[in-house]
Amino acid sequence: MSWKSIVSKLQEITAIISLVANTILILLVLTKSPKQIGSYKYLMIYISIFEMSYSFIDVIIEPIMISQGSIYLCLVNINKSAFSYQTNVILLSVWAAFFGSFMGLFVLQFLYRYCVASGFETSF
């Protein structure tokens, strides 16, 4: 079994785990979260839906990431893809935007927690 096939299977497995875990998290937040959690539950639901979408796109395009020194390159093998070249370009761009946006969401979640823990009133 080649390294590429192992990585491909691992991407599929982790995407399935992500979809299942985030679905369970959304159901728990909607049905079991206390009233005191307030608008934070909507942030958690949004992040879960966002991550499910990211996992779905990751499985569809199967990006190949290469890094060498300060260079980071993302590729898609269009010979293995069911989509046209233009569609793959759009999907890879959306995938990259999701990756970058996740970093912002990660910071936003911790900023929200900090504001709540420090007693700072927020309008989130």
Q: Global pTM?
A: 0.78
Q: Which amino acid is at 104?
A: G
Residue 56 sits at the vertex; the CA angle it makes with 53 and 59, to the nearest 5 degrees, is 150
Dihedral angle of Cα 109, 59, 25, 37, to the nearest 10 degrees: 20
Contacts of 105 (CB under 8 A, 6+ apart): 46, 47, 50
What tens digit of pLDDT does each residue of 67-114 get?
Answer: 899 998 988 988 888 899 999 999 999 999 998 898 888 888 888 888
